[in-house]
Amino acid sequence: MKKFTLIFLAVVLLSQLSFAGGIVTNTNQSASFVRMLVRDASTDIDAVYFNPAGLTQLEDGFYISASNQFIFQDRKITNDYSYLNNHQYIGNTTALLFPDVYLAYKTGRFAFSAGLLPIGGGGSAEYQRGLPSFELGISDLVPALRSKGVTGYSSDLYFNGSSIYLGYQAGVSYKINDMVSIAAGARYVQATNTYKGHIESNYIYFAAGGELATTFFSNASSQYAAGATQLAGAATQYGQAATQYGQAVAAYTQAGKTDSVAKYTALQAGATAMATGYAAKAKVYGDSAKMMGAKANLLANQEADVTQKGTGITPFLGVNLTLLDKKLQIGIKYEFITKLQLTNSTAKDLLIGYTATGIPETQFPDGAKINADIPAMLSIGASYLFTPKLLLTGGIHYYWDKNVNWDGQEKNITNNSYEYGLGGEYAINEKCTVSAGYLFASSGVAISYNTDMSYDLSSSSFAAGLKIKLAPKVNLNLGCIYTDYYSITKNYTHDLAGSGFLVPVVENYTKTSWDVSIGLDFQIGK
């Protein structure tokens, strides 16, 4: 019956809402990134995130960058399980507020910086009709109850999850010489996930009409309970008869009536056997009554209202190399693993089953803790100014996904994920610069990692945009990214109504994403 529930853990939701970057890490952290996709060797204000050591290349002064992204992602899942009412499920992920704010103060050899950014999550995922895994168990009622005349089912399934991992970071950069700069800092991560959803109005249909599934199983439970009571009563009566026959055996034995002793001994044995048999049947009926009652409870209307919160620290280091008369910049940044544990705060929970002793089990126990580390990552990038008007960039990102603690989910990661990309910008004139970029992301998860609730796909992203100089020290950045994810197919077996009969199922996962951004970068004085 756990198949009837909304099984979403912290890592599952975060991987659903992660955009450009690794499984759970967002690297789309400025409007300049959205217009060209590669900023790992940036020496502009967004270097606060992408290349903190590169901030030493700024002129002395105070810098501010503020941008927001509007992100829309569509997910499509198809499932060929024959008893499902729906074989295609659409999920919509939306992030209308995805802000990045950076501050930097450059003076002499030093640069001091701070930033606010959504390092993970940043949106909400909505499934108006649920997912196959929500519905498989309910659909099994049709074949399981066919002998009772059941011909179909219906259910009202809904889920909405939101996630935001806000990062507040600060760093210090230092220029050792004209070629080498270094940086160090830390990011405080404040994570919040919310889950809201329901499983309601589970109906089964007969030729004559529909009935709530919980009513059907409640009635069945009552019938089995009544049968158990009758059988227990019969067992008691035969037990009493066996006792009386035993008393007769004792009396006839004392009287020396051998024939009567044999007769009543046989009657006693028969009554005892009948009592034992009826007691066994009563237990079977009683167990069936409990099982039907449990199914009735699991198929009753359920609602989830859960918040998960936690905090962590991400130390980071950076190096920037300035070569070839400042035409070549090489940026290197390493972010350490963020150890993160989330705690459930549960207002309403979902019943997922019972222990062997009959204690109810729920999906999000209040106060339970979940491990949701953010992997360590390394970024290396280079930019080269070919002409005063043409700048080309390239970069790679590598994520140590296999080293995290995701409560066992990390065992389904075959290889660490990585990205590589190329970007460029060309100044049409003093006021307008056009840019474009390409980024390939390779997923390292095993097929077993992917489910309808969480799947990680390799992808190709294409970006284009503009940088417009509004004033001598004010730039407007506009960008757009389209991401095409490579679909995958998973083959698995489904246990039909817990009968042990395994049915082959084919499930396909795909998604697409659009990201539009606007941002302002400006310098205040020197």
Over residues 186-221, the pLDDT tens digits come to 999 999 988 888 888 999 999 989 999 999 999 999
Mean pLDDT across the chain, nearest whole number? 91
Percent of the chain with pLDDT over 70: 96
Taking CA atoms, 510 is separated from 184, 247, 461, 487, 505, in Å, by 39, 77, 15, 4, 17
pLDDT at 9: 47
pLDDT of residue 16: 55
Closest-CA residue to 28 (of 92, 123, 138): 123
Written as six digits, the tokens of 85 are 């009412």
Q: Residue 176: give its domain's CATH number.
A: 2.40.160.60
Residue numbers of the domain that contains 407: 2-201+305-524
- Domain-embedded: residue 495: yes
**Is the pLDDT assigned to residue 2 strictly greater than 50?**
no
More reliable by pLDDT, 406 or 396:
396
Overall number of domains in the chain? 1
Gyration radius of the chain's alpha carbons: 33
Handedness of CA 54, 56, 58, 64 (dihedral sign): positive
Q: Quick one: pLDDT at residue 17?
A: 55
Asked whether the predicted pLDDT for residue 491 surpasses 60, the reply is yes
Half-sphere exposure of 217 (CA within 13 A, CB side): 22
Which pLDDT score, from 0 to 100, does residue 432 have? Answer: 97
Predicted pLDDT at 3 = 38
Give residue-wise pLDDT tens across range 301-358: 988 899 999 999 999 999 999 999 999 999 999 999 999 999 999 999 888 778 878 7
DSSP 5: S
Give φ, ψ of 378 to 5 degrees.
-125, 130
The answer to whether residue 332 sits within a structural domain is yes
Q: Which residue has the higher pLDDT, 488 or 128?
A: 488
Share of the chain above pLDDT 90, in %: 67
Minimum mean pLDDT among 178-182, 187-191, 296-300, 477-481: which range? 296-300
230 falls within a domain: no
487 touches 508 (CB < 8 A): yes
Interior angle at CA 243, CA 238 and CA 249, nearest 5: 125
The pLDDT of residue 125: 79
User: At 16, phi and psi to the nearest 5?
Assistant: -70, -35
Among 361-365, 391-395, 411-415, the minimum mean pLDDT is found in: 361-365
Q: Find out whether 8 and 134 touch, Cβ atoms under 8 Å.
A: no
Tokens of 212: 């709530």
Q: Is residue 58 part of a domain?
A: yes
pLDDT, tens digit, 9 for 90 and up, residues 53-99: 999 999 999 999 999 999 998 889 999 999 999 899 888 888 889 99
Which 3 state secondary structure label does DSSP give 330? strand
CA neighbours closer than 13 Å in the CB half-sphere of residue 334: 5
Instruction: Round to whole Å and give the CA distance between 183 and 257.
Output: 106
Assess contact for 215 and 300: CB atoms under 8 A: no
Extract the tokens encoding 417. 């994920």
Asked if pLDDT for residue 6 goes beyond 50, the answer is no
Closest to 519 in 3D by CA, of 104, 65, 70: 65
Q: Has residue 229 been placed in a domain?
A: no
Cβ count near 273 (within 10 Å): 12
Residue 1 pLDDT exceeds 80: no
Confirm whether 50 is domain-assigned. Answer: yes
Distance linking the first and last C-alpha atoms of the chain: 66
Per residue in 245-285, pLDDT (tens digit) is: 999 989 989 888 888 889 999 999 999 999 999 999 999 99
Residue 39: inside a domain: yes
Residue 127 resides in a domain:
yes
Burial of 321 (0-12, 13-18, 19+ CB in 10 A): middle
HEC string for 487-498: CEEEEEEEEHHH
- Tell me the two tokens of residue 1: 């019956």
Residues 100-127 have pLDDT tens digits of: 999 999 999 999 999 999 998 887 878 8
The pTM is what? 0.86
Which amino acid, one-letter code, is at 321?
L
